[in-house]
C-alpha cells in the first residue's frame, strides 16, 4: 500500500503545472477516492488539496525568484487565471507578494515533497476484529466541534456536561446492540483531519429504534466495521489508537475506509486516568 501511495505522490510531482485529478491518484493507489483523501490527510496532517497547493506555490516561488518568466506567465503555468489570484495565494503561503519577492529576493517558505514509509516499532500490537452490521440509528445529542489531536477536547467536554442526566438515562434505555451504552460518535464533514477542522460529535447510543423528537438521529446503512480495542492512559492512548489506525493499520491491511461515522465506546477507570476503549471504523475490503 505504501509503495502505491508513493507512486501517487510521484504523479503529483509530475503534474504540478497541470490539472491533478484526485480520482486518478486514487486509481494509482488502487483504492477509492474517499479512502485516498482520508488516508492522505491522516498521514500528511493536511488535506490533499492543501498539499498540492503548497507544493505548486513552492515550485512557483522558485520560478518567481529565478526571473526567467514574467509573473503572469508563472501564474498561468500553475493554474491561476489572473495575476491577482496568484498574488493572493502566493502571499498566503509565503507571507510576501510575488512582485516584492522578485524585487527584494525575499526568503520564501517551502513545502517539502512528501513520501511515506512505515516505521515498525514492535512495541504495540493492535487488537481488532471485523464485524458486519445491519443498518442502525445513532440517537443522542449532536454538536459541531473542532478536532483536537492531543488532550481533552474542551468543546466536547462542554457538550457532554450540557446533556442532562435524565436525557442520558433515556438515551441509555434505547441502546439495544453493539457497541452498547453511551457512545462518542464522530462524523467528519470533509477529508481533512487537521487540528481545528470542524466535525459533528454525537453523545449518543446505537439502536434499531426510532429517535424521540427531542434527540438527534443519524441513520447508518448496513456495512462492514473494523473494531479496535486498547487500554491505557486517557485520553492519550485513545488518541494514539485513532492515529495508528490510519497511519499503520490501513497501510498494512487489505481494507479501506468508507463513508460513515466513527464510533467510540469508552469505559474509564475509577480515578479517570485510564480507560478501556473500543473504536468502530467503517471499512470495505480492497481485495489486495
**Domain residue spans in the chain?**
2-104, 127-285
Identify the pLDDT of residue 147. Answer: 81
pTM for this model (two decimals): 0.72
Distance in angstroms (rounded) separating the CA atoms of residues 7 and 19: 17
Tell me what pLDDT residue 268 has. Answer: 86
| In the predicted structure, residue 1 carries a pLDDT above the cut 90 | no
- Tell me the range of 121-135, 217-231, 239-253 where mean pLDDT is highest: 217-231
Which region among 44-58, 85-99, 107-121, 200-214 has the lowest average model confidence (pLDDT)?
Answer: 107-121
Which pLDDT score, from 0 to 100, does residue 243 have? 78
In this structure, is the dihedral angle defined by the CA atoms of residues 6, 11, 13 and 14, taken in order, positive or negative? positive
Q: Which of 45-59, 93-107, 239-253 has the lowest mean pLDDT?
A: 239-253
- Other CB atoms within 10 A of residue 101 CB: 20
Domain 2-104 fold is Arc Repressor Mutant, subunit A (1.10.10)
At residue 279, φ and ψ (nearest 5 deg) are -115, 125
Across the chain, the runs of DSSP E, i.e. the strands, are: 127-133, 136-146, 183-188, 198-207, 216-220, 223-233, 255-257, 262-268, 274-285
- CATH number attached to the domain at 127-285: 3.20.80.10
Provide mean pLDDT across the span 20-38. Answer: 92
| Average pLDDT of the residues of the chain | 88
Q: Residue for cell digits 477516492?
A: 33
Amino acid at each position: 500500500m505504501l509503495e502505491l501511495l508513493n507512486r501517487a505522490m510521484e504523479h503529483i510531482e509530475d503534474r504540478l503545472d497541470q490539472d491533478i485529478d484526485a480520482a486518478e491518484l486514487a486509481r494509482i493507489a488502487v483504492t477509492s477516492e474517499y479512502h485516498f483523501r482520508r488516508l492522505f490527510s491522516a498521514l500528511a496532517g493536511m488535506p490533499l488539496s492543501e498539499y498540492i497547493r503548497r507544493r505548486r506555490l513552492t515550485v512557483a516561488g522558485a520560478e518567481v525568484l529565478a526571473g526567467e518568466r514574467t509573473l503572469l506567465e508563472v501564474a498561468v503555468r500553475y493554474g491561476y487565471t489572473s495575476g491577482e489570484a496568484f498574488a493572493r495565494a502566493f502571499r498566503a503561503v509565503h507571507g510576501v507578494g510575488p512582485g516584492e519577492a522578485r524585487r527584494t529576493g525575499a526568503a520564501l517558505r517551502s513545502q517539502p515533497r512528501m513520501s511515506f514509509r512505515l516505521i515498525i516499532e514492535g512495541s504495540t500490537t493492535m487488537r481488532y476484529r471485523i464485524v458486519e452490521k445491519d443498518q442502525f440509528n445513532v440517537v443522542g445529542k449532536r454538536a459541531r466541534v473542532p478536532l483536537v489531536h492531543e488532550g481533552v477536547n474542551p468543546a466536547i467536554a462542554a457538550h457532554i456536561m450540557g446533556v442532562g442526566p435524565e436525557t442520558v438515562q433515556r438515551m441509555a434505555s434505547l441502546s439495544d446492540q453493539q457497541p452498547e451504552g453511551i457512545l462518542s460518535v464522530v462524523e467528519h464533514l470533509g477529508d481533512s483531519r487537521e487540528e481545528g477542522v470542524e466535525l459533528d460529535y454525537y453523545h449518543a447510543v446505537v439502536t434499531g429504534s426510532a429517535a424521540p423528537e427531542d434527540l438527534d438521529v443519524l441513520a447508518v446503512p448496513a456495512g462492514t466495521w473494523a473494531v479496535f480495542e486498547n487500554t491505557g492512559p486517557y485520553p492519550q492512548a485513545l488518541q494514539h489508537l485513532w492515529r495508528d489506525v490510519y497511519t499503520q493499520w490501513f497501510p498494512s491491511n487489505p481494507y479501506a475506509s468508507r463513508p460513515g461515522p466513527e464510533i467510540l465506546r469508552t469505559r474509564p477507570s475509577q480515578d479517570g486516568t485510564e480507560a478501556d476503549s473500543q473504536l468502530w471504523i467503517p471499512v470495505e475490503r480492497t481485495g489486495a
